[in-house]
Chain A
Amino acid sequence: MRIVVDLNRCQGYAQCVYLAHEVFRLSGQEALTYEPNPDDERRLQVERAAVACPVHAIVIDRLEGAERGGAS
């Protein structure tokens, strides 16, 4: 699956890290890094993280699952 975190918006609350630590990591106190195309198996975790993020910084692909013809 594809995600992007708007790191201008992210405030390093680390909620996402608790909910999906394979996908989101903190480097130091508050610098968030993440896997932008995590395994589909992580979808539920990632969706939970996106909902839990207090500033709605995690954006998930809205087409996924749908057929993606070429670059669509």
Chain B
Amino acid sequence: MTLPATVAELVRDFRANGRIVIVGASLAGLRAAEALREEGFTGSLTIIGDEPYEPYDRPPLSKQVLKGWVPADHTKLPRMREVDADWRLGVAATGLDRAAKQVRLADGEQVPYDRLLIATGTRARQWPNPTEAALQGVHTIRSRDDAARLRAALAEPPSRVLVIGAGFIGSEVASVCRELDIPVTVVERGSAPLVGALGGVIGEIAAQMQRDHGVDLRCTLGVSSLEGDSAGHVRRARLSDGTVVDADVVVASLGSIRNVEWLEGSGLAAGFWGVGCDAGGRAFDINGVVTDSIYVAGDVARAPHVLYEYEFLAMEHWDNAVFGAEVAAHNMVNLEPHYRPHLLVPGFWSGQFGVNIKSVGVPPFGDEIVFTQGSVAGRSFAAAYGHRGRIVAAVTFDHGKWLEHYGKLIERSAPFPPPPPGWDRPPDMKPMPAEFPEPGVPTEVPDVVLTGHAPSERTAEFRPRRH
């Protein structure tokens, strides 16, 4: 047989009889499994997930579930097709042996693979003081159990809720509290809500929106400590300016931590910002060499993006998990030149205080912002972000129909400020600084993070020069 014929035969054989293991049984893991079958993979498929539940959707948890409209166990994801997999739910992967090509499970079992997909996502960052974090009434929200617990606490109802961190999730929690007529205090270290994701100009609008809805918003402040009563229930928080807030429910929405601990010692480029991979989802090893058999998708992946000067992006967005999973699945069962790139123009939505906030592109990549449509006072507008004279992102408040238009401008790297639309023009179309905090500061996700180069993670094996 000729070499190409042998290779083609190998691919055929792998698709028919190969073993694929997916670690992480959530949005990315499920969609990848479905896409693998769609691609014609008929070999064995094992899906390992540490949660006891079949894959469910997270965005409703901080919205309709908290509000009490939808029960927390009602967000099971719809299935696109049969996946015929061996599901190992309720057991964590605890190690990866790349030499033996095996995943180690918490129950001691070793699961062999020919190709592996890492889709272990992120978890909520807990309140840093463990004793205070263990007080009853202190919550985080990532899983459906978290949402069920917090929902039950809100139903009591509490006398006041304290939200620590005004990213998207913290802001959504505050919004639900106000809809339920529960007093809420929001403490944010940054200058305004959403400032990490959308910058200070938009943050100021979000701040006003929160205050108009009766949120007691305190920015540029931290929470120094939480105090409980003798029964171990949280009662109050001490802020960095010495003031005290009485609250019987505390929601720490401090961003997320990537689930990469199980990869320690595997020699993969896994660290604080996730697992580094190429734009096709193939994982890098610690030396920056791409692997052939290990792929990454979803919140835990970080990949270079052509539109953003090949900077490594970690995108904690729903559409990134879906699209990244499809791309990784395709590439797992194909060979060059049939690889597909994961070139998503990221999109995000958040419903809060009755306003539909959406973004496209990567706002923190921009340094300038210009309002292009609508009215800020009416909280119904579109704004574009620019970097070095081109448009890199846009945000809309109740102007979602326009997002696609901006998405197309971003794909084309159209000039910034973009040409003014024919109508619905705001009075002032002058670009101004977008006011993002210093890069590299962890933000209150879900968000897109420009992860750049992390010198602290320098673990490469430098090769001695031969003389």
Contact = CB atoms under 8 A, between A and B. Distances in A.
B412 interface: no
B69 A8 contact: no
A35 B75 CA distance: 8
Interface residues of A, number: 30
Contact of B356 (A28, A61, A70): A28
B299 to A, nearest CB: 16
A4 interface: yes
Interface stretch (B215-223, B256-264, B347-355, B439-447): B347-355
Given A28-B354, A30-B398, A71-B87, A7 B79 contact: no
Contacts of A66: 82
Which 5 A/B pairs are nearest by Cβ-Cβ distance?
A28-B354, A61-B78, A31-B351, A31-B356, A71-B54
A6 B57 CA distance: 11
B79 A2 contact: yes
Contacts of B347: 8
A10 interface: yes
B400 A12 contact: yes
Contacts of B60: 33-34, 36
Interface of A: 2-4, 6-8, 10-12, 27-37, 59-64, 66, 70-72
Contacts of B80: 59, 62
B82 A7 contact: no
Contacts of B127: none
Interface string B327-357: 0000000000000000000011101111110
Given A28-B353, A72-B79, 14 more contacts: A2-B78, A4-B77, A10-B400, A11-B401, A27-B354, A28-B355, A33-B60, A33-B69, A34-B64, A36-B70, A37-B70, A63-B79, A63-B82, A66-B82
Contacts of A32: 351, 356
Contacts of B75: 36-37
Contacts of A35: 64, 69-70, 74
B319 interface: yes
Contacts of B63: 33
A8 B318 contact: yes
Given A29-B354, A33-B63, A34-B64, A2 B76 contact: yes
A46 B349 CA distance: 22
Interface string B392-421: 000000101100000000000000000000
Nearest to A35: B70
B460 to A, nearest CB: 37
A68 to B, nearest CB: 8
23 contacts: A4-B78, A7-B59, A7-B318, A8-B348, A10-B349, A27-B354, A29-B356, A29-B398, A30-B400, A31-B351, A31-B356, A33-B63, A33-B64, A33-B69, A35-B64, A37-B70, A59-B80, A60-B78, A63-B79, A63-B81, A63-B82, A71-B54, A72-B82
Nearest to B25: A71
Contacts of A27: 351, 354
B344 to A, nearest CB: 10
Contact of B354 (A11, A31, A34): A31
A37 B400 contact: no
B78 A3 contact: yes
Nearest to B380: A29
Contacts of A2: 76-79
Nearest to A66: B82
Interface centre among A6, A31, A66 (most CB of B within 10 A): A31
Nearest to A6: B319
A4 B380 contact: no
A43 to B, nearest CB: 13
A71 B89 contact: yes
Given A37-B75, A62-B79, A4 B57 contact: yes
Nearest to A13: B401
Interface string B363-402: 0000000000000000010000000000000000010110
B78 A31 contact: no
B83 interface: yes
Contacts of B74: 35-37
